[in-house]
C-alpha cells in the first residue's frame, strides 16, 4: 500500500499567487474596462541581449552538425563554463577552482535540493520574510513540525526576523542551528548585507559548525562597490558556506534555465571527511540530475564574455531605472519603502495598521496596481508589500501614474 509524503500536507503557502489571481479576476469581473498594472512579478520581461542570443544560436547550430554534436555532457557542467565562472569570481577577488562549481538548471532547484545532502535532524534558520523555497523544501524533507496558521510559522524552524530596526538584515540566531539560509540582495525586502553583517554569520557558522546557504541570485544588481556580491568575499566563508546563483536575473534566463552552485572543497561539517560535502553534492546531482542543457550552457558562456557581461549590465540598469521610477513615485505620494537601490525589489510599509492583504485590495481598487502581500513571505512580512522593478518601462510608468492619480492616503 503506497502512502504519500505527508509532509506535503503541512505546506501552508502556495496559496499566495492563486489568491492574488482570484482577487484580480474578481476585480476585473466587476470592472471590465479598467486596466490592471502589474508590479508584482518576480520575472524578467526584456529580451535576451544580442551576444547572448548568438551564443544560444551557436549552441543550437553545434547540435545540427555531426562534427560538433554532443549528447550528455560533463555531469558537473561544461568545463569551459566552470572555468569562466571561476574567472568571473576571480575578477572580484574570489579565488575558486572550476571544480568547485556545479552547473544546474537554476538557483531555485539548487536552493531546494541542497538540503538533501544534510541530515534530517539538522535545525534550520531562515530569514523572515524569505523566498519560500528555503522553508517549503525543509518542510517537505520533514525538518519542521506543523504550520501554525495564527502565527504564520512552522514549529521547529528558526525565524530570523528582518525588520526596520535591523534594516532587514538579521543577526545570527541566538540559539544553535545547523543550516542557515541567507539571501542577499534579498527577495523580497531588497536589503543587501554588508561585509560586517555577513562576517557575523560566517563567524557564527564556524563556531557552531553550521553551514550557510547563500543565495546570490541578485548579486549583479548591486551598484554600490562597497557591498559584497559573493559570500566568499568574507573571510572564512569557504569553510562554511555554499553559494547558489543563477543566470536568470543576471541575463534574463528565467525561461532558458541555467544556474550554478559553489560547494568549496574546504567546506566541512561535524561528521564529514575532508571534501565530503563537495562529493555529496556531486553524488546528489549525478544521481538525480543529468546536467543542464548544452544549448543553455553555450548561452551562459556568451553571458560571461566581456561583451555579454557589458550587455547584461545594461539590462540590469534598465530594471534598476524602473526601480528608481517606482521609488520616485512612492516618495511623491508619501509612502514609506525600503530597497530598490541595489536590488530590483521595493519593500513598502503599508500605511497605518493595514495588513498586507488590506493594502493589496486598496492598491488594486484605487490604483489598479497589483503587488505581492508581504505576509506571503513569512510572519514578519505582515504589514509590508513587495513591488518589483521587472517590467516594460511603459507598464512601470503607467503603474506609477495610476498610483499617483488614484491612491487615497
Ligand X SMILES: *Cc1c(COP(=O)(O)O)cnc(C)c1O
Do 41 and 16 touch, CB atoms closer than 8 A?
no
For ligand X, the closer CB: 183 or 367: 183
Least Cβ distance, residue 275 to ligand X (angstroms): 26
How crowded is residue 27: how many other Cβ atoms within 10 Å of its Cβ? 17
Buried b (16+ CB within 10 A) or exposed e, 146-185: ebeeeebbbeebbbbebeeeeebbbebbeeebbbbbbbbb
Query: Would you call 314 exposed, middle or buried from its count of C-beta atoms within 10 A (0-12, 13-18, 19+)?
Result: exposed
Which CB, 52 or 269, lies closer to ligand X? 52
DSSP 254: T
Rounded CA gap, 333 and 349, in Å? 13
User: Minimal distance in Å, beta carbon 377 to ligand X?
Assistant: 10
Q: Is 144 in the site for ligand X (CB under 6 A)?
A: no
Query: Within positions 203 to 242, which residues make up the interface with ligand X, using CB under 6 A?
Result: 215, 217
- 187 forms part of the interface with ligand X (CB under 6 A): yes
Q: Write the DSSP symbol of residue 396.
A: H
Nearest-approach distance from CB 253 to ligand X, in angstroms: 7
Closer residue to ligand X in complex, CB, 272/293: 293
CA 372 to chain centre: 15
Question: Does 246 engage in binding with ligand X (CB under 6 A)?
Answer: yes
Peptide bond into 188 cis (omega under 30): yes
CB of 9 to ligand X, least distance (A): 25
Which of 230, 248, 342, 368 binds ligand X (CB under 6 A)? It is 248
Q: Does 183 bind ligand X (CB under 6 A)?
A: yes
- Judged by CB under 6 A, which stretch of 8-16, 143-151, 243-251, 328-336 contacts ligand X? 243-251
Q: Hey, what's the cell of 153?
A: 510559522
Query: With binding defined as CB under 6 A, does residue 395 bind ligand X?
Result: no
Angle, CA of 170, 174 and 180, to the nearest 5°: 60
Q: Which residues pair with 261 in a beta bridge?
A: 102, 244
Cα angle: 274, vertex 79, 75; to 5 degrees? 70
Of 95-114, which residues contact ligand X (CB under 6 A)?
A: 106-108
* Residue nearest ligand X, CB atom distance: 106
Question: Which residues, in sequence order, are CB contacts of 186 under 8 Å at separation 6+?
Answer: 127, 162, 168, 192, 218, 339, 343, 345
- The residue among 49 and 246 lying less far from ligand X, judged by its C-beta, is 246
Q: Which residues ranging from 250 to 269 are in contact with ligand X (CB under 6 A)? A: 254, 259
Number of residues that bind ligand X (CB under 6 A): 14
Q: Using the rule CB under 6 A, give the single segment among 15-23, 55-63, 203-211, 245-253 that binds ligand X.
A: 245-253
Residue 388's nearest CA partner among 396, 378, 397 is 396
Residue 249 in contact with ligand X, rule: CB under 6 A: yes
Is 386 a residue that touches ligand X (CB under 6 A)? no
Query: Which of 221, 357 has the CB closer to ligand X?
Result: 221
**Which positions touch ligand X (CB under 6 A)?**
42, 106-108, 131, 183, 187, 215, 217, 246, 248-249, 254, 259
Amino acid at each position: 500500500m503506497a502512502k504519500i509524503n505527508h509532509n506535503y500536507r503541512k505546506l501552508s503557502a502556495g496559496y499566495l499567487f492563486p489568491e492574488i489571481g482570484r482577487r484580480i479576476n474578481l476585480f476585473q469581473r466587476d470592472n471590465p474596462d479598467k486596466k490592471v498594472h502589474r508590479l508584482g512579478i518576480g520575472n524578467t520581461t526584456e529580451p535576451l541581449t544580442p551576444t547572448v542570443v548568438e551564443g544560444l544560436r551557436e549552441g543550437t547550430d553545434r547540435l545540427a552538425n555531426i562534427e560538433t554534436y554532443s549528447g550528455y555532457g560533463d555531469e558537473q557542467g561544461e568545463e569551459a563554463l566552470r572555468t569562466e565562472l571561476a574567472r568571473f569570481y576571480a575578477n572580484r577577488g574570489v579565488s575558486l577552482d572550476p571544480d568547485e562549481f556545479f552547473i544546474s538548471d537554476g538557483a531555485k532547484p539548487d536552493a531546494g535540493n541542497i538540503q538533501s545532502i544534510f541530515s534530517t535532524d539538522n535545525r534550520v534558520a531562515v530569514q523572515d520574510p524569505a523566498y519560500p523555497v528555503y522553508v517549503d523544501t525543509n518542510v517537505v524533507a520533514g525538518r519542521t513540525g506543523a504550520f501554525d496558521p495564527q502565527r504564520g510559522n512552522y514549529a521547529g524552524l528558526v525565524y530570523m526576523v528582518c525588520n526596520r530596526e535591523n534594516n532587514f538584515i538579521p543577526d545570527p540566531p541566538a540559539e544553535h542551528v545547523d543550516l542557515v539560509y541567507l539571501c542577499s540582495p534579498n527577495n523580497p525586502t531588497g536589503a543587501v548585507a554588508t561585509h560586517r553583517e555577513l562576517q557575523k554569520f560566517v563567524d557564527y557558522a564556524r563556531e557552531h559548525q553550521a553551514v550557510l546557504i547563500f543565495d546570490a541570485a541578485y548579486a549583479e544588481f548591486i551598484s554600490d562597490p562597497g557591498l559584497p556580491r559573493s559570500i566568499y568575499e568574507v573571510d572564512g566563508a569557504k569553510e562554511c558556506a555554499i553559494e547558489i546563483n543563477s543566470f536568470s536575473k543576471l541575463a534574463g534566463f528565467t525561461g532558458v534555465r541555467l544556474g550554478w552552485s559553489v560547494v568549496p572543497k574546504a567546506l566541512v561539517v561535524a561528521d564529514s571527511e575532508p571534501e565530503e560535502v563537495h562529493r555529496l553534492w556531486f553524488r546528489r546531482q549525478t544521481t538525480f540530475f543529468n546536467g543542464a542543457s548544452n544549448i543553455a550552457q553555450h548561452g551562459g558562456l556568451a553571458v560571461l564574455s566581456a561583451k555579454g557581461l557589458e550587455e547584461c549590465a545594461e539590462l540590469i540598469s534598465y530594471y534598476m531605472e524602473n526601480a528608481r521610477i517606482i521609488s520616485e513615485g512612492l516618495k511623491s505620494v508619501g509612502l514609506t519603502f525600503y530597497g530598490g537601490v541595489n536590488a530590483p525589489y521595493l519593500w513598502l510599509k503599508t500605511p497605518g495598521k493595514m495588513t498586507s492583504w488590506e493594502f493589496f485590495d486598496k492598491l488594486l481598487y484605487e490604483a489598479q496596481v497589483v503587488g505581492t502581500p508581504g505576509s506571503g513571505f513569512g510572519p514578519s512580512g505582515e504589514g509590508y508589500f513587495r513591488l518589483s522593478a521587472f517590467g516594460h518601462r511603459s507598464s512601470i510608468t503607467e503603474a506609477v501614474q495610476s498610483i499617483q492619480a488614484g491612491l487615497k492616503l
